[in-house]
Chain A
Amino acid sequence: MADQVFRYIAKKRRPKEDRRFIAGAGRFVADLSVPGMVHVALVASPYPFARIRSIDTEKALALPGVISVLTGAELAAGTDATLPGVDAPKVKRWPLAHQFVRYPGEWVAAVVAESRALAEDAVELVDVDYEPLTPVTDPEAALLPESPAVHPDHGSNVLFHKKWVWGPVEEDFAAAAHKLSFRARWHRSSTVPIETFGVLAQWNPAQQLLDIWASIQMPKFPDQLAKALRLPGNGVRVHFDVDVGGSYGVKRGLKHSILAGFLAKKLGMPVRLMEDRLENMRGGDAQGPDRIFDMQVAFSGEGIIRSLKIRALDDCGAHAGRAPLQLGKPIGAICGPYRVNSVEYEAISVTTNKTPQEAVRGFGQSPTNFALETMVDRVAATLGMDRLAIRHANLIRADEFPYTIPSGSTYDSGDFQTVLEKALTAADYPALLAKRDAARRAGKFAGVGLACCLEPSGGNSAFEPLFNPKNETTTWMEATTIKIDGAGAVVVSINTSSSGQGHESLAATVVGEVLEREPETIRVVHADSLAALPSNSPVGSRMAIMLGGAAAGAAKKLKETITAIGAHKLGVALDAAEYRDGAVISRADPSKKVSWEAIAEIAHRKFHELPPGIEPGLQAMHVLEVPTGGTLPGPDGRVQMYPCYAFEVHVVYAELDRVTGQVALGPYTIGHDCGVMINPDIVHGMTYGGIAHGIGAALYERFRYDESGQFLSGTFMDYLIPSAHEVPDVAIVDHCTPSPLTAFGQKGSGEAGYLGAPAGISCAVNDALAPLGLNITELPMTPGVLGDLIATGEKE
């Protein structure tokens, strides 16, 4: 398959959707306006934990232009609570706090007014009487029985706690010549898209239909929204043709949409809720994993890693959603790209009085990769081995695929050594080490980092039944419809919104490839949720595999139909006809040909020329189950998590400023293998962007809370996103090991770069600190943290 010749796939092509964005003609949710639209602003809790004694809305309601003030009691009475992804039915969430506020910034009341500015004025006039309670802010403390429970009805702060043992862990540890342990800390950051979350809701009483336009990226969003609002699924219509201004996992504004939908129905007015930046950062429920890893590893004197014990404690904040499941996906790559005989994994998810955690790019894999690569460097340091040699000694070899890891997932394909070698060659690794050594001789703190990381892709939901046996989900299908009209024009319908992944380009390229038609001529539309086929949205690096596979499947069905119509028209047997460039020719006499246009006309107008059994019109749909999906986890928790595995190697050079602690990165090289790239510019773009995001997680971005539980990072002056000054020029080295499981050998790439950059940067910084005898295993390594660490080290 590596030698497969493509017409359009893997070629440079200008993405279809770019054209509207460069003209400023995107259609984002804030750009929509409907007559009579009213606006929401939110009253936010000033306390991390408190009981709500009373809410006085009288003064707010008296302000001219104010239409309504909604509180949690009324909303809780009129809607169903949403529940976490684990079996914890008493951990209930409503869009507005009900009885308790559980984190600083939690929404307590919603003010609706004629303008957003008036609504904000009225927010100041809502008087809430609170009884402050002692908050719990530390995840270890949250585990203690005497700790206050964030959800008293649940009885404790533990949402999920389970230990799996895959293979002879104790035996392997007992037999190993060496063992080491350490703690790694991944502090709370997130994807923080530049567009905040927004939703516009309009209730149509004559049709009993709620229209929703939202900046959404969420599996099963319409179903969950309808359920919470006590509407039938066909009573909600989500418009997926809204452009989403970035998401990378977090745009799951279910609570926002429930709130706006409830208000629209109650008031009979179109209601817009557009977060401002502060609402987004503190009350948008979109912070990310906040994780403590306790790592133990057993290894031989030659550096062969034999067994792992991992305890991962995750602070999911005051409510859960799918957050605990972010401990689950990494089970599918729990030992990274390495040959490890046995693994113990203890996953614990706790509630604290912090902003709830949401799905973040990689769904827990990037923190895990950071812990694993830190571990590999520790093993090398313990044995005095070269960091490269130890990776070579443990990487799974190309001839070992498909390779099954102890936790039950089989890696589809890979050639890790070749990608590593290509990256080292491109980076000129010996020269990089020489540069580092020269910098050190000149008195600088310089380091080189290496990270070898996996990107599981093809987004399945196998962690759902693993973390909640009551949830027997075993499919996360994706679908596509293709229609060819009577004049031969092609329309491809996809069933989800897009947030920058280039799905329109992807679908058009794939359909063009199969049907041998120029993708530029193919129109791609986003069906609304009532017209759409099943989709599980672009999560888990799945769309190249799943949307690409569904589109290819539908196109292949159409190709068969077209060939049958053409053969019938030619008067030849099906196997005597051949599809070529959109026409059908006679194999015996290629001058006999039925054109694309003629076949489209037959299909739409000339029933008398259609072969028996072929429906008129020319359309096909295909629903694709996730490759390797479809089964429940075994009793020991072994399960195939995702189908495909992309691989990336980061080679990072870093210099630390002795005084400020600022880290200057570069040269920065990444070797990347995600199989066949359907559009290389799109894959490269996501990879560069993932690295930038990883730089943020490694060095700058942190949602901070003080000891009393107050939130400190509500602006872009407190939460620092890397700019063009902090992101170095990155060199990508491509390699292609096709997946045997997908239509064209493609794997996912939506999390590329992010899954390895924090690990690689951390390794580089630690290499720079090594001559001082210092090390750090906490991310982000902000300038302040590193500056203080260096100062301490130099003093000693």
Chain B
Amino acid sequence: MSWHDISLTVNGRKYRGHVPARLTLVDFLRDHLRLTGTHTGCEHGVCGACSILFDGKAMRSCLIFAVQADGATITTVEGLAPDPAGLSVLQDCFWETHALQCGFCTPGMLIAAQALLNHNRAPSDEEIRDAIGGNLCRCTGYKQIIDAIKLAASRLQGANDPVGPMSGADNG
């Protein structure tokens, strides 16, 4: 099996890696970089738990080899908050509406929702369902997730910064 040198940017930090060709990106993120917030649920591209932002688009990191990420810019759940102690508006809204239970699908849900909000600040219910339609959740029945995304959209519409993920009040 061939081995490859890669370099990529994850959550704003540059990393280099030496990886076998068959290593998936999710295994690279979890096992090599120890970014364990991205989860594996099926490893065949259905459940969405391993979703990441890959050059700005939500993708399944179980269906991408690490070598294919050479030169890419990636955001994982650990990179959504504006600083290590804070939360993004979206994360704060997930907390506010209790948009999770066991928390296992949550990182992928957050990524899918963030990808939507990055280009659509006033999504309809149907657009929200479409955006998270590839992410399976077994706990919530999706209702409080959809509520969270709607709440985040309304908060972001009222914010001064029209683009960035913003720190929410960490005030549980």
| Least distance between B17 CB and chain A CB atoms (Å) | 15
**Is B94 interfacial (CB 8 A cutoff)?**
yes
Chain A residue, CB-CB nearest to B49: A194
Contact between B104 and A245, CB atoms less than 8 A apart:
yes
Q: Which of B31-39, B53-61, B66-74, B154-162 contacts A (4 or more CB under 8 A)?
A: B31-39
Which A residues are CB-close (under 8 A) to B134?
723
Q: Is A689 a contact partner of B138 (Cβ separation < 8 A)?
A: yes
A691/B141 contact (C-beta < 8 A), A18-B94, A21-B106, A246-B104 known: yes
Within 8 A of A (CB), among B26-65: 30-31, 34-44, 46-47, 49
On whether the beta carbons of A689 and B129 are closer than 8 Å, the reply is no
Which residues in B have their C-beta under 8 angstroms from that of A795?
A: none
When chains A and B are docked, how far (Å) is the Cα of A14 from the Cα of B98? 7
Beta-carbon nearest neighbor of B142 in chain A: A724
Q: Tell whether A520 pairs with B101 under 8 Å between CB atoms, given A193-B138, A753-B141.
A: no
The stretch of A26-34, A127-135, A469-477 that contacts the partner chain: A26-34
CB pair B100–A246 under 8 Å, yes or no, is no
Asked whether B133 lies within 8 Å of A723 as measured between CB atoms, the reply is yes
Identity of the chain B residue whose Cβ is nearest the Cβ of A245 in the assembled complex: B104
Known contacts A245-B103, A716-B46; is-contact A30 B40 (Cβ 8 Å): yes
Residue among B23, B98, B100, B125 with max Cβ neighbours from chain A (10 Å): B98
B contacts with A, residue count (CB < 8 A): 61
Contacts of A729 in B (CB 8 A): 125, 143, 146
A276-B43, A689-B139, A716-B42 known; A194+B76 contact, CB < 8 A: no
Q: A277 CA to B40 CA in the complex, in Å? A: 9
Whether the Cβ atoms of A716 and B103 lie closer than 8 Å is: no
> Nearest-CB distance from B31 to chain A (Å)?
8
A266 close to chain B: CB less than 8 A: no
Q: State whether the Cβ of B81 lies closer than 8 Å to any Cβ in chain A.
A: yes
Report the separation of the CA atoms of residues A717 and B97 in the bound assembly, to the nearest whole angstrom.
30
Q: A25, A244, A690: which contacts B102 (Cβ < 8 A)?
A: A244
Known: A194-B105, A499-B102, A717-B44. A693 touches B37 (CB 8 A): no
Return the chain B residue nearest A194 by Cβ. Answer: B41
Are A14 and B95 touching (Cβ within 8 A)?
Answer: yes
A360 at the B interface (CB under 8 A): no
Q: Which of A680-717 contact B (CB under 8 A)?
A: 681-682, 684-693, 715-717
Instruction: Give Cα A25–Cα B138 distance, bound, in whole angstroms.
Output: 19
Residues of the A chain whose Cβ atoms lie less than 8 Å from the Cβ of B96 = 14
Nearest-CB residue, chain A, relative to B97:
A681
Decide if A30 touches B36 in the complex (CB within 8 Å): yes
Size bracket, chain A contacts: 35 or more
B24 to chain A, nearest CB (A): 10
Q: Contacts A18-B95, A19-B95, A23-B81 given: A725-B129 contact, CB under 8 Å?
A: yes
Min Cβ gap A237→B in Å is 23
**CB pair A195 B100 closer than 8 Å:** no
CB pair B100 A22 closer than 8 Å:
yes
**Is there an interface contact between A502 and B101, defined as CB atoms closer than 8 Å?**
yes
Instruction: For chain A, residues 180 to 223, give those with C-beta under 8 angstroms from any C-beta of chain B.
Output: 191-196
5-30 of chain A: CB within 8 A of chain B:
14-26, 28, 30
On chain A, the residues within 8 Å of B30 by CB distance are 30-31
Q: Which of A520, A715, A723 has the most C-beta atoms of chain B within 10 angstroms of its own C-beta?
A: A723
| Among A117, A684, A716, contact of B44 (Cβ-Cβ < 8 Å) | A716
Give CA–CA (A693, B142) in the complex, Å: 11
A422, chain B: closest CB distance, angstroms: 19
Q: In the assembled complex, which residues on chain B have CB atoms less than 8 Å from the CB atom of A194?
A: 39, 41-42, 47, 49, 104-105, 136-138
Are B138's CB and A716's CB within 8 A? Answer: no
CB neighbours of A611 from chain B (8 A): none
CB distance B138 to A248 under 8 Å?
Answer: yes
**What's the Cα separation between A246 and B137 when bound, in Å?**
10
Q: Would A689 and B141 count as touching, CB distance under 8 A?
A: yes
Within 8 Å of chain B (Cβ to Cβ): is A574?
no
B101 touching A500, Cβ below 8 Å: yes
> In chain B, what residue has the closest Cβ to A717?
B46
Does A727 have its Cβ within 8 Å of any Cβ on chain B?
A: yes
Q: How far is the CB of A360 from chain B (nearest CB, A)?
A: 12
Q: Is the CB of B42 within 8 A of A117?
A: no
Cβ of B25 under 8 Å from chain A? no
Query: Which residues from chain A contact B23 at a C-beta distance below 8 Å?
Result: 117
A165 within 8 A of B: no
A16 near B172 (CB under 8 angstroms)?
yes
CB < 8 Å neighbour of B139 from A685, A724, A725: A685
Q: Is A176 an interface residue (CB 8 A)?
A: no
16 additional contacts, CB 8 Å, given A685-B139, A685-B141?
A: A14-B172, A22-B92, A33-B34, A117-B22, A193-B102, A194-B42, A194-B105, A246-B138, A681-B97, A689-B137, A692-B141, A715-B46, A716-B42, A723-B134, A723-B135, A727-B142
| A-B interface, 7 closest residue pairs, ranked by CB to CB distance from nearest | A24-B37, A21-B103, A245-B104, A500-B102, A500-B101, A24-B77, A688-B141
16 A-B residue pairs with Cβ-Cβ distance under 8 Å, sorted by A, are A22-B103, A24-B38, A24-B78, A25-B78, A26-B103, A31-B36, A194-B41, A194-B136, A245-B39, A246-B101, A247-B102, A277-B41, A682-B101, A692-B141, A724-B146, A727-B141
**Chain A residues engaging chain B, CB cutoff 8 angstroms:** 14-26, 28, 30-31, 33, 117, 191-196, 243-248, 276-277, 499-502, 520, 681-682, 684-693, 715-717, 721, 723-725, 727, 729-730, 753
